[in-house]
Structure 1
Amino acid sequence: MHIFITAGEPSGDKLGAALMQGLRRRVPDVRFTGIGGERMIAEGLESLFPMDEISVMGITEILRQYGALKARIRETSEAVVAARPDALVTVDLPEFSLRVAKQVKAASDIRVVHYVAPTVWAWRPGRAAKMAAHVDQVLALLPFEPPYMEAAGMRCDFVGHPVVTEPQASPGEQAAFRARHRIGDAPMALVLPGSRRSEISRLGPVFREVAERVHAARPELQLVIPAATPVAPLVEELCADWPGNPLVLDPRSLGEEAAAEKRAAFGAADVALAASGTVALELAAAATPMVIGYDMGWLSRQIIGRLLLVDTVNLVNLVSETRTIPEFIGKDCRPEPIAEALLQVIDAPEAQSEAMALTMERLGRDGPHPGDRAAQAVLEGLGQD
């Protein structure tokens, strides 16, 4: 069996590697070619070119690199058609993946599987119908996504979310974190302003005022700010004069211990203030109650606000079918209500426990590994189950 598989960013590389492992357990002599990073290459992928050459995000960056990206799309689709694999599996990165899929389908009848369903349940539902013209099967991370894909004419399998496979800090590791940073039994709040410069620059002033208000009400509260490597200097600069002497976890100085330190912080925290995104699922996996805030540029806010189909974008709220997680998006992302909500969660953290546990259960915790489920779905789609 020959599978051509592509990924263009670290999260996709991780999903792709797990799928490759699952396929090899079922088909030991399976062969992989395509595009991937370190994890997929370690699983035996022969990569056409470095993955980071197609890892672009945002309209401005895509336009700036459009010529190079277009050439890589053409090169990849031609390689797929020439190789005649049993299936093409594209992992996330729709700007690249779906253009490759379109060109492959125009020149062949190769089966196309796309891993990670687009958020058609949130906005632009017409994307599903456009995908169906050149995608045969979708592997979904969220349990409510298959009906949207199936209605457009594609097979769709819910395979579980990778967050359920992430290790969690033990009580001993959490206690050691508190002792190491001299937090002791004091209440502790995570502040997670995002992983991109634009997010941090926009949310920083709002989160700072929230910190000031909460510190005035609870001066004993210790703020801990885990920073992503690319934006660590910006985060340190941002919170240098915040009240309460916040602790910044800088992965550059932590080295190989960075991931364990972040896990311990997530587990040890009593509450978190976070930018909207998949970090909400990481917090739910650690059973850390949260308040979510997010804003965007004026134009994006106007466009997305008009297209949005749901009344919440928080995945814990959506998966658990509750509205337990306080969420302040767009024009509602203001310090006063966010600080008030954070104080309320500190006083009654157990209110979110059931929704977080239900979310993890519905995403596949304690079930088969998502990589195995994805592999089984691909093989079933090929009629080799």
Structure 2
Amino acid sequence: MGSTLRVALVAGEASGDILGAGLMQALRTQHPAIEFIGVGGPRMQAEGLNSYFPMERLSVMGLVEVLGRLPELLSRRKRLIRTLIEQKPDVFIGIDAPDFTLGVELKLRRAGIKTVHYVSPSVWAWRQKRVFKIREACDLMLTLFPFEAQFYQAHQVPVRFVGHPLANTIPLELDRAAARSTLGLPEQGRVVALLPGSRGGEVGKLGDLFLDAAQLLLRAQPELRFVLPCASPERRVQLEAMLVGRQLPLTLLDGQSHEALAACDAVLIASGTATLEALLCQRPMVVAYRVAPLTYRILKRLVSSAYISLPNLLAGRLLVPELIQDAATPEALAATLLPLLENGTTQTAEFAAIHRSLRLDASTQAAEAVLALIAGQSCS
């Protein structure tokens, strides 16, 4: 492949922009003569992407918000498909955002353009019939986790497990003392990190719950300190209101979730992608989650996975406690976390092994698979 390649990519949110930029760097390292087109954020544009429109126009959260923006999204997708068919890229890569990108992939593949989807939707957990659309839309699925690749292999979808970029970013061993110094925490004594989520709804359901659990933990171990990273200024205001009237030795942080995890001895955490960061930091954790009662009843019928947290999905067993819905009480959270402050090695020993298994240099692996697909080679 000595000639110039034209690679189209579409990312719909900040996490996809980070993945896309890493993939673009790796593709250029392996094939310097390359042109990038599509849609991406500032990181992908810094790597040379000519973005057809601002990535933020695809960043929509919530059913009501999506419905309100649906005409615009459908119009943008239709124009994008038409433009990409005219541009005839050597490959199209949809990065996450499956509700938007899978539709693009399906049309482009039918037009004879090779297609890749990077980051699997949670098809293995719910709405499994989506795999048939994925099989029709994608020449290749790139997954961040091995259990996802196993699912696609079972459904005859070409797939390659590439590892997770965060596993290379986070060291295999963290300096707890340095992290505490950075955050102004005492070097001695135990610290618990509280991570009740990044969205307002999550913090609304879990913030008071986590703070109530922290007060119970403090009664049991009066020397404890707590850190709570705030995902945004809005979340900080929300949490400050919850702290009014409480007497807790707690430090609110602006972001700095990595530093909080590195500094702590154990974590009380909302189910979500932050649990992967806690795993990679090798900190024992208790996972909690609450949703609206009706949503929970619906999800119980739809979700086929035995676990909800990434550590348990990666381990293939109940490695970390999951306290969901009515089981997530302050008393239960505190009682489950206390033993992990004394001895969390059962969790952390397996965390270390999982960390190594994900540390594959995902961007390089993904670039190799994409270039092999363009060349007509096997991508397994």
TM-score range, shorter chain: over 0.9
Alignment correspondent of 1:350: 345
Alignment correspondent of 1:90: 94
**Which of the numbers 171, 175, 198 marks the counterpart of 1:170?**
175
Alignment correspondent of 2:67: 63
Alignment correspondent of 1:257: none
Contact 1:320 1:358 in 2 (8 A): no
Contact 2:177 2:187 in 1 (8 A): no
Secondary structure, in 3 states, of the residue corresponding to 2:215? helix
CA shift digits 1:338-361 (9 cap, x unpaired): 111011211222221112112212
Alignment correspondent of 1:209: 212
Query: Any residues of structure 2 matched to 1:22-101 within 5 Å, and which?
Result: 22-101=26-105
Contact 1:6 1:34 in 2 (8 A): yes
Alignment correspondent of 2:131: 128
Alignment correspondent of 2:200: 197
Contact 1:211 1:243 in 2 (8 A): no
Contact 1:271 1:289 in 2 (8 A): yes
1:321 is aligned to 2:316:
yes
1:150 is aligned to 2:142:
no
Matched residue type, 1:329: I
In 2, Cα distance between equivalents of 1:325 and 1:134: 35
Secondary structure, in 3 states, of the residue corresponding to 1:145? helix
Distance change (3 Å), C-alpha of 1:342 and 1:242? farther
Distance change (3 Å), C-alpha of 1:7 and 1:70? same
Alignment correspondent of 1:383: 375
CA deviation after TM superposition for structure 1 residue 110, in Å: 0.7
CA deviation after TM superposition for structure 1 residue 265, in Å: 2.1
Matched residue type, 1:80: L
In 2, Cα distance between equivalents of 1:214 and 1:172: 22
CA deviation after TM superposition for structure 1 residue 384, in Å: 5.8
In 2, Cα distance between equivalents of 1:303 and 1:146: 27
In 2, Cα distance between equivalents of 1:42 and 1:172: 35
CA deviation after TM superposition for structure 1 residue 171, in Å: 4.5
Contact 1:210 1:338 in 2 (8 A): yes
Secondary structure, in 3 states, of the residue corresponding to 2:147? coil
Secondary structure, in 3 states, of the residue corresponding to 2:131? helix
CA deviation after TM superposition for structure 1 residue 134, in Å: 1.6
Contact 1:54 1:72 in 2 (8 A): no
Alignment correspondent of 1:286: 281
**Which of the numbers 349, 356, 365 marks the counterpart of 1:373?**
365
Distance change (3 Å), C-alpha of 1:240 and 1:29? farther
Contact 1:322 1:355 in 2 (8 A): no
CA deviation after TM superposition for structure 1 residue 36, in Å: 0.5
CA deviation after TM superposition for structure 1 residue 172, in Å: 4.9
- Equivalent residues, number: 370
Secondary structure, in 3 states, of the residue corresponding to 1:199? helix
Distance change (3 Å), C-alpha of 1:81 and 1:309? same
In 2, Cα distance between equivalents of 1:103 and 1:238: 48
Stretches of structure 2 lacking an aligned partner (at least 5 in a row): none
In 2, Cα distance between equivalents of 1:283 and 1:241: 29
Matched residue type, 2:239: V
In 2, Cα distance between equivalents of 1:71 and 1:170: 50
Alignment correspondent of 2:221: 218
TM-score (norm 2): 0.93
Alignment correspondent of 1:137: 140
Secondary structure, in 3 states, of the residue corresponding to 1:144? helix
Matched residue type, 1:92: D
Q: Which runs of 4+ in 1 moved over 6 A?
A: none
Contact 1:2 1:31 in 2 (8 A): yes
Contact 2:170 2:280 in 1 (8 A): no
CA deviation after TM superposition for structure 1 residue 10, in Å: 0.8
Identity %: 34
Stretches of structure 1 lacking an aligned partner (at least 5 in a row): 252-260
In 1, Cα distance between equivalents of 2:298 and 2:71: 27
Query: Any residues of structure 2 matched to 1:250-289 within 5 Å, and which?
Result: 250-251=254-255, 261-289=256-284
Secondary structure, in 3 states, of the residue corresponding to 2:83? helix
Contact 2:10 2:39 in 1 (8 A): yes
Distance change (3 Å), C-alpha of 1:292 and 1:217? same
Secondary structure, in 3 states, of the residue corresponding to 1:123? coil
TM-score (norm 1): 0.91
Contact 1:273 1:290 in 2 (8 A): yes
In 2, Cα distance between equivalents of 1:188 and 1:10: 30
Alignment correspondent of 2:15: 11
CA shift digits 1:14-42 (9 cap, x unpaired): 11111111110111011100000111011
CA deviation after TM superposition for structure 1 residue 376, in Å: 0.4
CA deviation after TM superposition for structure 1 residue 62, in Å: 0.8
Alignment correspondent of 1:114: 117
CA deviation after TM superposition for structure 1 residue 310, in Å: 2.0
